[in-house]
A = this chain, B = another copy of it.
């Protein structure tokens, strides 16, 4: 067996982690081109050549960061459970994504930036893996609609709306902060946000008699 040895040492594991954490912050703030290896190295507390010892190319760091963020991003989506109550499941999903937007906005931004620029690094992933997962959830939503447990809406656009809205609170935070400067710093802003979004999404904005 010509096995390429891939023994990962303790130091390697630690340093790769440090580098990826530092890189996430820098990439999220400045984008791929706007980020310099020196910036990441400084934030990671090591020399540039040392960093390049762990990730030989700038792109390697970027791809690794992206893979991590993709996972963050998709995990709550995967957790949507066909057997659960439709509204509960979607509410849970929205809350989970908003919580992520709050706790790890950098992650969301790196992802958004990649898509915005045409997904040069993860285009393939989107067309294969993401599409597959989405197809599966689309089927779940259709079933819910067929069973009369959800209003008859277009599943794709429903998903896009939820993605867009939850993503927005991480990616456009600066804009939100400029428009509602007082509330955005509140401890419970994200809970208030979740409640507001869920209310609108569930009930719509058309006035009803029964209020």
Asked if B175 and A165 make an inter-chain contact with CB atoms under 8 angstroms apart, the answer reads: no
Asked if B34 and A32 make an inter-chain contact with CB atoms under 8 angstroms apart, the answer reads: yes
A15 interface contact, C-beta 8 A: no
Q: Nearest chain-B residue to A153 (Cβ)?
A: B200
Q: Is the interface of A mostly helix, strand, loop or mixed?
A: helix
**What 1/0 flags go to A55-95 for Cβ under 8 Å of B?**
00000000000000000000000000000001100100000
User: Hey, which chain B residues are within 8 Å of A109, CB to CB?
Assistant: 116
Q: Report, as a range, how many residues of chain A touch the other chain.
A: 35 or more
Asked if A205 and B207 make an inter-chain contact with CB atoms under 8 angstroms apart, the answer reads: no
A196 to B161, CA, bound (A): 10
**CB-CB under 8 A for A161 and B197, given A116-B116, A153-B205, A174-B119:** yes
- Pick the contact of A201 from B171, B183, B205 — CB < 8 Å? B205
- Number of identical protomers: 2
- A129 shortest CB reach to chain B, Å: 10
A207 to B169, CA, bound (A): 27
Q: Which of A91-150 contact B (CB under 8 A)?
A: 109, 112-113, 115-119, 123, 126-127, 130-131, 134, 148-150
**CB-CB under 8 A for A176 and B151, given A31-B33, A200-B204:** no
- Pick the contact of A178 from B30, B126, B164 — CB < 8 Å? B126
Kindly list 18 other residue pairs between chains A and B, CB separation below 8 angstroms, not including A127-B181, A200-B201. Answer: A29-B117, A30-B33, A31-B34, A31-B117, A119-B175, A126-B174, A127-B178, A130-B178, A153-B196, A154-B200, A157-B193, A157-B196, A158-B200, A160-B165, A161-B161, A161-B168, A163-B168, A202-B204
Which A residues fall within an 8 A CB radius of B? Answer: 29-34, 86-87, 90, 109, 112-113, 115-119, 123, 126-127, 130-131, 134, 148-154, 156-158, 160-161, 163-165, 167-169, 171-172, 174-176, 178-181, 183, 192-193, 196-197, 199-208, 211
